Structure 1
Amino acid sequence: MMNITTDSFSNELQQFFMSFDHKISFKKGDFLFQEGSTSTHLFFITSGAVQVGKVTPEGRELTLQLASSGDLVGEVMLFCGSTPHMLQAKAIEPCTAISIQKRVLENELAQYPALSMEYMKWMGLQIKRMQTKFRDLILNGKKVLSILL
């Protein structure tokens, strides 16, 4: 899962995402992608709001992220072939997103090393943020952990 905000990536990377012209509009309740579908696109949100989450086998909906304008949403593993989505992304209000095909992104990053470096820096930051969130959840979110300590 990716989430990018305009203060966490370079101006070059932001301009790169904005340079794509394939805009898609989603109504409230529409899915950008669903769990199990093949991951082929990233979505740069330009307006509205998107809920990224998972539905448990019991039918409970877990929200892992709320994305809005300036956020990048998707589960694209670059240079790794096709992979299925492990999460779903649903518009929680009408929204517009720029759709970026995985193969196009791979080609652009391979062609422009400086842009590729900016993308890798951003990915590293996202991984660090995600690990921090999980650490905080594990250490502060459950009473069961006091038994283990």
Structure 2
Amino acid sequence: MGLVDEDPPMTVWTEDRITRLRSLWCEGRTAESISRDLGAGISRSAVLGKVHRLGLSALRPESAAGENRPRPAATERTRPPAGARSEVRHGSAVSPSVGRRTVLTIRRRECRWPLGDPLQPGFSLCGCPVSRGAFCSDHAAIAYRGATQTFEQLARLAGV
């Protein structure tokens, strides 16, 4: 009944698993891959926690950490002149079946422009490749518009 008679708590981190964790981590494997390799009872979060407690994150090779990956060259963005509006092709904004996705089937980098009434059957999202933000080029032209009035016009309207 006393503390002396009780067995110490079981741990999933045996010396063999810790040794294997160290070698896999230093090879550059991901935490998810290591958790699968180590087997039952070891989650991705458990791997990351143990790596942190062992101080292994500093031992990881830089190439595995992703710090030396080549970055795409920065492109200069140009803005259209003030007052200029790009022509929007509204016909393609609701194009019938091209790329239509549901909320459950939409993927990363696919346009999330809603098509139809969300409360009605047949509601979907555009699904075309994203060009800017969360929308394809046609829907981005509708969603992201510049200010139509200048600050001075708004101040005059407000009577300031």
User: Shorter-chain-normalised TM-score: which range?
Assistant: under 0.3
Larger Rg: 2
Which is strand-richer, 1 or 2?
Answer: 1
